[in-house]
Structure 1
């Protein structure tokens, strides 16, 4: 933790003493932030307020992923460049992106489980789903479920299961 020390000659000025360990900890934190930025696709980097130097460094690091030592040095450079920016804004934007990603994957698993339940249970699951979502097309559901069940019995990948998933995703979102 930083201590404040008063200058004996100027009583109004306070200096903040930062230990070398604390500076290293802060640098590691910025490097990890930079590494998270490197792992993002380029189209999502536009959501951040980054200057050209940092963006160029990130794109170069994305190209250097296979080269271990060069990648590590590039991450150090990105961490150094991030010192000039406000890391709290970058962290806030990164948190938003991560929460959206986790929310969309959770929705994906719910739809996947719904599809699997429909295929496993058949008509009874369709009836329950129709009670909850009456706007769905019962005929389409029954057709896809029947075809997916036949494909499952044969042990082949089901095109009907994929179509059922797409339909559920479009209609339930």
Structure 2
């Protein structure tokens, strides 16, 4: 039977149901870690001693064996301080928010590209009002080239280049990374966790 604090009347220990909920919460966190790519995992404050157990759970695909390995991982995770697990959860939440903002920005990039191709200088003026540091001449040239490509059924090189230029222009501001050198995709991808395949799909 659990004891109570004489002054507050609160229970002094944790109930079995609370223990079970905490264990299931850690198990769910372990499943999230196993589902991440190596690059995503590397951005989290995961203790070194947990990494081999995560890798092993990734390797095992047989259902029962996989569940057993996840339980083994969770057992090791419960030995970590609560502060360590909270730091992992906070980092995951931050990455999720970053991903949502990035996806929203990719849609804006696509919208701006279509506006530029449809309305030309009018759309370009509106873009420059919002992003005055954009290169007017570069974008105007790319838009004209993209329109010519479409008219002549040529490969959409300029069309793709417009996407990359707009991505470099819009994404740092959306993620609060205006100070980051975003002159190339490599610089930008080093600053945020981007999904290259997703970007390529978005521009096709």
Q: TM-score range by the shorter chain?
A: 0.7 to 0.9
| Partners of 2:28 and 2:153 in 1: CA distance | 45
Which residue does the alignment assign to 1:114? 112
Match of 1:142 among 140, 143, 168: 140
Give RMSD over aligned pairs: 2.7
Q: Residue 16 of structure 1: SS of its match in structure 2?
A: coil
- Size of the aligned set, in residue pairs, is 162
RCO higher in structure (CA 8 A, sep ≥6): 2
Which segments of 5 or more consecutive residues in structure 2 lack a partner in the other structure? Answer: 6-10, 173-204
Query: How far 1:50 sits from its partner (Å)?
Result: 1.4
Shift of 1:56: 0.5
Following the alignment from structure 1 to structure 2, what is the Cα–Cα distance between the partners of residues 141 and 39?
39
Write the distance in 2 (CA, Å) between the matches of 1:168 and 1:106. Answer: 13
Provide the secondary structure at the position in 1 that maps to 2:57. Answer: helix
Alpha-carbon distance change, 135 to 69 in structure 1, aligned in 2, over 3 angstroms: same
**Structure 1 runs not aligned, ≥5 long:** 8-13
Return the offset for 1:33: 0.3
**Residues 2-21 of structure 1 mapped to structure 2, 5 A cutoff:** 4-6=2-4, 15-19=12-16, 21=17
Q: Offset at 1:153?
A: 5.2
Q: Which residue of 1 aligns with 2:38?
A: 42
1:51 to 1:132, Cα distance in 2 relative to 1, 3 A: closer
Q: Which residue of 2 aligns with 1:169?
A: 167
- TM-score, length of structure 1 as denominator length: 0.76
**Structure with the largest fraction of strand:** 1
